[in-house]
Structure 1
Amino acid sequence: MSSDSASQETVCSQSLPLDEFLTFKLMALANALQMQVTRHYIAPVTSVGLVEWRLMGLLQQHGESHAGALARISLIDKAQISRSLQPLIERQWVQRRVDPQHARRHLLSLTSQGLSHFNCVLAQARPFQAALLNALTRQERESLNQIMAKLMQAAEAIDAQASQQSADSKPNSSLAIEP
């Protein structure tokens, strides 16, 4: 078997063991890293949780945004975003104001106090993140980025296909159904 054909070998969905599910493996790694970040870098500096810190990071990176935009960017559920934003607003780390272009929507931004807390945690987290990345060679980091981009594209394509199949299987409400 040539290396080209070996690299194109498909995975059998009927016999794929649960411990080989990519989603399980990635979640286990993500959970382990999240626990370390929370325990060693966020908790000693501030009382916010990981989701709150991520939302602060998104606001720092993208500027003033609304909850729907944060949900699209982060792939975090909008309800979880709303719950996580409330303590940040109460601490006055995030400011909420009515969107002048859409009265039912609120724009969110970091306050100077929120930015200060975010930057404090960021200073602690950067060496940890650099150490993780430095465990890989430059080529491995590039490969990892390419693999993650490819998996994201595949996930989006699978989601679009599943959504289309779901839409196709629903009865067309505009058709008259005769008794």
Structure 2
Amino acid sequence: MKIKLENVRLAFPTLFEAKTVNGEGEPAFSAAFLMEPNHPAVKKINDAIEVVGKDKWGAKWPDIKKGMVKADKTCLHDGDAKAEYAGFPDNLYVSSRNKTRPLVIDRDRSPLTAQDGKPYAGCYVNASIELWAQDNNYGKRINASLRGVQFHRDGDAFAGGGAASEDEFDDIAEGATADDLV
């Protein structure tokens, strides 16, 4: 089930080059999306989990859901479990991944590349995800597939900071010598 998350905070983005987790498994694109517990997206996600679970497991869903929630086997997680990371405490987050590169666009829907410097960890984005039910040798889960990310607005970067601004440098276009810069 496809849903759009609006104005959520981006964390751990791997949007332009697929990577493995700790060098294991197949490379994938991924992102986490942070939101306050009262954010409108939380209801959308919970409703989608309910629909996907009922579609997959029918009358067994209520019992399966209890086990999933207890074992943290849905794509919606309590950020306090990752309290060591900036932005996670007191929030919820959706974890998403995909082997296929997601669409990554700017506010005006123009394509973005890694060289554009956005989106970045800590900024706010709109995201398209698709929830799906997993029932295989690896267990039962409700996962989120990452479909696309749209840069929404700047936020405080979580790690690594952003690019420097022009204001951090002097204008040395004319008349400056190497001695002036020492």
When normalised by structure 2's length, the TM-score is: 0.23
Give 1 or 2: higher helix fraction. 1
Structure scoring higher RCO (CA < 8 A, sep ≥ 6) equals 2
Relative to its length, the structure with more strand (as a share) is: 2
Q: TM-score, normalised by structure 1?
A: 0.23
